[in-house]
Structure 1
């Protein structure tokens, strides 16, 4: 059976459905992928934020094939090249010769804080 995906929000229930239909838990999927259960849970909760490589690895474990095909009766959307605000700011700074001023509460003057953020896994 095919499941066309038209929006990124459709990825989550489709991933969950394939996982459950194979009788796998998130912990099982994490074990197959070599990551923690929480890491796989994050991917499943927000697959749109995952890299294509990570998504493909999960789909491979699930035995799912991704097929791309042209949508019927649609015109391609025009691609507009835009420069983001941060890129414009960097470009402007690169063309000026004066040294940028440090804001009054610069992080370099503050003592470093320990973060309790969990370590990211590379998979």
Structure 2
């Protein structure tokens, strides 16, 4: 499943939802990462001020991966006979 993220509010919701979908508490996820429950809560509350590597580790610890994808609206059409 893909979860597009366009702003910090969406990332907050997604991080929390992914953790809950795996049946993990903040404490359990923190133990996997070697951080406290309080740190997980802070990341979920304010991912926009969290280092990328921490978010990446958190997502990976939950069994997911991050991907950057170009939205189809921004893809440049390949030139064809009718393009020019």
Q: For the superposition of Structure 1 and Structure 2, which TM-score range results when normalised by the shorter chain?
A: 0.7 to 0.9
Partner of 2:37: 37
CA–CA separation in structure 2 for the residues paired with 1:61 and 1:40: 12
How far 1:73 moved relative to its partner? 2.3
CA–CA separation in structure 1 for the residues paired with 2:36 and 2:65: 24
- Compare CA radii of gyration and give the structure with the larger one: 1
CA–CA separation in structure 1 for the residues paired with 2:60 and 2:73: 31
Per-residue Cα deviation, 1:19-40 (whole angstroms, up to 9, x for no partner): 0010000000111111111111
Partner of 2:8: 8
Aligned residue for 1:73, secondary structure, equals: helix
Supply the RMSD in Å over aligned alpha carbons.
Answer: 1.3
Partner of 2:47: 47
CA–CA separation in structure 2 for the residues paired with 1:74 and 1:21: 31
Q: Structure 2: where are the runs of 5+ without partners?
A: 76-84
How high is the TM-score relative to the length of structure 1? 0.57
Structure having the larger proportion of residues in helix: 2
How far 1:53 moved relative to its partner? 0.5
